[in-house]
Amino acid sequence: MCCSSWSLFLPLLLLVVPISCFPPCVSSSIGSYHVNKNKNNQAPPNNMDPSEAETLFNIMDSMSSDHTWRISFPNPCNSASSWPGIECKPGQNDKLLHVSRLDFGSPPNPSCKTTATFPSQVFTLPYLQSLFFFHCFTQTKTNISLPLLSHPSNASSLQQLSLRSNPALVGPIPSQISSLHSLQILTLSQNRLAGRIPVQIFSLNSLVHLDLSYNLLTGPIPPQLGSLRNLVGLDLSYNSLSGSIPDTIGQMGLLQKFDLSSNFLVGNIPDSIEKLNSLVFMALSSNRLGGKFPQGLAKLQSLQYFIMDDNPMFIPLPEEFGKLMKLQELRVANSGYSGTIPTSFSHLTNLSTLSLQNNRLTGEIPEGFGSLSHIYHLNLSRNMLAGIVPFNSIFLKRLGRNLDLSANPGLCLSPSEAYGVKIGVNVCGTNRTVSTIQPFNKSEAPSGLCKSLFLLCFILCTSVLALHHISFSA
């Protein structure tokens, strides 16, 4: 469990890095503005709009008791006398400095009081472009709230809003979030947000990344999703969303990554998905998806990760996977797949992980698997595969313990390859198992320590016996 979730995270991390640098790149457009140090060594004037400064200090006082903000930082936009977690920019039409970024929660940024609640006033800072609250609301339950803006344009500068890991952030995602219409990155991950995804969120048509993962969201994924034509990354994983995947997903032509894992989604992957020709990463594990694969699956020629374990599919594995030449990970375990493993899978030269365990696959392991030069994790355990394992001893040694063929009673290893390898498969023509590693149940599996102790004990005992023998015969 632990290992498999890590190996799932790894490609995620790898993906997040390049994707976050696709244009438009918000973070690079927001640089901190550094005011030159005053040559006469005098305190520079507080060149902020007084009402903006007042709003800022009210927010700081309500959020954090790290400092007496007004006294410690009378010129918060002056880089020589500001705190980490604030950035300012000069106005285009005035000679003032304006708060463009505020960051709370993670050191060295200001820490949040245990009594802090969501400061809706932040949305009245007219030049704010980025706002971060990380592990900030942890004690006092609070909702996301937006002020009723008399001039909606006041809030329109915000490009990035990130509220992450706030266990006390509860309640719904407010529909008024749609008034933040410059938003490009909206991250509301790992909070306790509940209720439905408001359709109004899909009018934020500048959105490039939308992450609502790890919350308590319910209800369907609204079909209006498709109107986010600039979306590159979508993550709705680890919620309680139900219904089917909207067909309109195919309208998001720039989509590179989507993750809908661990929800209660039903139905099949919509056919429209074939239009997503930039798609690199697709994760749908742990849902209730079934039925069939889209006709045009093979059109997803950018796809590198297809992760769809734990769904009640109960169909044969589609041949078309073998045409997705960029695939690096294909995970479709625990899903009731039947029939043989398509030989086309042997064409996936860049495949590094193939997880087919715990299905009902029959027939032989395709001959060509032995020449998958990038493969390093291959799990075919708990199927009904049969025949001679088509791997030579070099392949077997290269994969080592990342190869799992156990619990396929019909498989056997040719005696010429079996020497010194341990994969839990019988040698053909004998009842001798080549392995000390049996297909253990997880809980029964001996830990590394037990095995080392056993080995140590074995060595000690045999040496004692040998000594015993020597001393007696002497």
Ligand X SMILES: *[C@@H]1O[C@H](CO)[C@@H](O)[C@H](O)[C@H]1NC(C)=O
Closest distance to ligand X from the beta carbon of 359 (Å): 10
Strand 97-104 and strand 403-404: the pairing is unpaired
Residues 6 or more apart whose CB falls under 8 angstroms from that of 432 comprise 426
Site residues (CB under 6 A) for ligand X, limited to 97-126: 124
* Token pair belonging to 95: 């000679």
Nearest CB to ligand X, comparing residues 287 and 357: 357
Closest distance to ligand X from the beta carbon of 171 (Å): 3
Site residues (CB under 6 A) for ligand X, limited to 53-92: none
Phi then psi for residue 234, to 5 deg, are: -130, 125
- Part of the chain binding ligand X (CB under 6 A), chosen from 73-81, 82-90, 282-290, 398-406: 398-406
Draw the binding track, 183-222, toward ligand X (x: CB under 6 A; -: no contact): ----------------------------------------
**What is the three-class DSSP state of 83?**
coil
Look at residues 356, 341, 345 and name the one whose alpha carbon lies nearest to residue 323. 345
Closest distance to ligand X from the beta carbon of 236 (Å): 21
Look at residues 368, 377, 364 and name the one whose alpha carbon lies nearest to residue 328. 377
- Compute how many residues bind ligand X; rule: CB under 6 A: 29
Site residues (CB under 6 A) for ligand X, limited to 292-351: 325-326, 349-350
Closest distance to ligand X from the beta carbon of 448 (Å): 14
Look at residues 218, 277, 272, 264 and name the one whose alpha carbon lies nearest to residue 248. 272
Closest distance to ligand X from the beta carbon of 123 (Å): 8
Nearest CB to ligand X, comparing residues 209 and 382: 382
Closest distance to ligand X from the beta carbon of 242 (Å): 21
Among 139, 240, 402, 436, binds ligand X (CB under 6 A): 402
Residue labelled with tokens 């929660």: 105
HSE, CB side, 13 Å, CA atoms: give it for residue 38.
Answer: 12
Write the DSSP string, 41-79. -PPPP--B-HHHHHHHHHHHHHH--SS-HHHH-SSTTSG
The reply on whether position 141 binds ligand X by CB under 6 A is yes
Among 78, 142, 179, 263, binds ligand X (CB under 6 A): 142
Cα–Cα distances (Å) from 406 to 247, 358, 385, 431, in that order, read: 39, 10, 10, 15
The reply on whether position 382 binds ligand X by CB under 6 A is yes
Among 248, 357, 383, 435, binds ligand X (CB under 6 A): 357
Nearest CB to ligand X, comparing residues 32 and 402: 402
On whether the CB atoms of residues 265 and 274 are closer than 8 A, the answer is no
* Token pair belonging to 130: 């980025």
Nearest CB to ligand X, comparing residues 14 and 149: 149
- Part of the chain binding ligand X (CB under 6 A), chosen from 11-19, 20-28, 376-384, 446-454: 376-384
Closest distance to ligand X from the beta carbon of 229 (Å): 27
- Part of the chain binding ligand X (CB under 6 A), chosen from 35-43, 212-220, 225-233, 424-432: 424-432
Closest distance to ligand X from the beta carbon of 415 (Å): 12
Look at residues 329, 381, 386 and name the one whose alpha carbon lies nearest to residue 357. 381
Nearest CB to ligand X, comparing residues 39 and 151: 151
On whether the CB atoms of residues 392 and 413 are closer than 8 A, the answer is no
Closest distance to ligand X from the beta carbon of 290 (Å): 20
Nearest CB to ligand X, comparing residues 218 and 244: 218
Task: Give the end-to-end CA distance of the chain in Å, rounded to a whole number.
Answer: 55
The reply on whether position 441 binds ligand X by CB under 6 A is yes
On whether the CB atoms of residues 62 and 119 are closer than 8 A, the answer is yes
Nearest CB to ligand X, comparing residues 325 and 394: 325
Nearest CB to ligand X, comparing residues 213 and 408: 408
Among 44, 342, 390, 439, binds ligand X (CB under 6 A): 439
For the chain, helix (H) and strand (E) counts, in that order, are 7, 26
- As beta bridge partners, residue 282 has 258, 306
Site residues (CB under 6 A) for ligand X, limited to 147-166: 147, 149-151, 154
Look at residues 284, 270, 280 and name the one whose alpha carbon lies nearest to residue 238. 284
Nearest CB to ligand X, comparing residues 235 and 404: 404
How far apart are the C-alpha atoms of 362 and 166, rounded to whole Å?
A: 47
Look at residues 203, 251, 254 and name the one whose alpha carbon lies nearest to residue 230. 254
HSE, CB side, 13 Å, CA atoms: give it for residue 42.
Answer: 4
Among 40, 41, 42, 431, binds ligand X (CB under 6 A): 431
How far apart are the C-alpha atoms of 354 and 374, rounded to whole Å?
A: 11
The reply on whether position 277 binds ligand X by CB under 6 A is no
Give Cα 72 to chain centroid, integer Å: 40
Beta strands in 381-425 (DSSP E): 386-388, 403-404, 410-413
Residue sitting closest to ligand X (CB): 171
Closest distance to ligand X from the beta carbon of 330 (Å): 14
The reply on whether position 381 binds ligand X by CB under 6 A is yes
- Site for ligand X, rule CB under 6 A: 124, 141-143, 147, 149-151, 154, 171-172, 325-326, 349-350, 357-358, 379, 381-382, 401-402, 404, 429-431, 439, 441-442
